[in-house]
Amino acid sequence: MAQTTNDIKNGSVLNLDGKLWTVIKFQHVKPGKGPAFVRTTIKDVLSGKIVDKTFNAGMKVQFETVDNRNLQYSYEDGDNFVFMDMETYDQTYIPKELIGDQAKFLLEGTDCIVSFHDGNPLNVELPASVVLEVTHTEPGLQGSRSTAGTKPATVETGAEIQVPLFINEGDKVKVDTRDGSYIGREN
């Protein structure tokens, strides 16, 4: 049975011109005049690029099955990161370039969602935020409790982020893995 644009849902994976795209948002539109259409916001599974695309209603499209698995980051091995399935204890080697800049927030024991297509890893989704210990920063200023100023700090994964002036070495901070921004201090 052929699938059409009428079957599109959030999270569907489409094969368009040999590339895999995940549907982030969709809307079926039936204007007063003219044919119905489906307006979508889709994300390239490999590059992360987000685009808006409109399809004619009922148009045939190729859906792909993507297997999302919860895997835990174990260690770095050459040009790969090694993840473990905590149910089967199978290890999966994932190339560093697949994770990209987010790798600087990857800490051993971090649970991630890894998407596979035909047994090949496509994408690694880190948690939205992680708690990391500050390993180096200039001493904090006493009485400086405002967020008016920031200073650079190095966290335990080696990433450098901007933190408020009152953060000291040894403090644990919550960091947004998407852009590396400081969210707050953890106890």
- Residue 1: pLDDT over 60: no
pLDDT of residue 162: 92
Topology adopted by domain 5-64 = SH3 type barrels. (2.30.30)
β-strand pairing of 37-44 with 172-176: unpaired
Q: Are 112 and 104 in contact (CB under 8 A)?
A: no
Other CB atoms closer than 10 Å to residue 185's CB: what's the count? 16
CATH superfamily, with its number, for domain 67-125? Nucleic acid-binding proteins (2.40.50.140)
Instruction: For residue 133, give the nearest of 108, 96, 100, 99 by alpha carbon.
Output: 108
In the structure, how many helices (H) and strands (E) does the chain have? 1, 15
48 or 39, which is more confident?
A: 39
| pLDDT tens sequence across 66-89 | 888 999 999 999 999 999 998 999
CA atoms within a 13 Å half-sphere pointing along the CA-CB vector of 29 = 14
Output the average pLDDT for the chain: 87
Q: What separation in angstroms does the CA of 74 have from each of 82, 83, 120, 131, 143?
A: 6, 5, 19, 17, 40
Matching fold, domains 67-125 and 129-186: yes
What is the pLDDT, as a whole number, of residue 84?
Answer: 95
CATH code for the structural domain at 129-186? 2.40.50.140
Domain boundaries, the chain: 5-64, 67-125, 129-186
What is the mean predicted confidence (pLDDT) over 4-15?
87
The larger pLDDT score, comparing residue 100 to residue 176, is at 176
Placement of tokens 């200023």 in the chain: 141
- Amino acid identity of residue 179, one-letter, is D
* Confidence (pTM): 0.70
Q: What is the reported pLDDT for 68?
A: 87
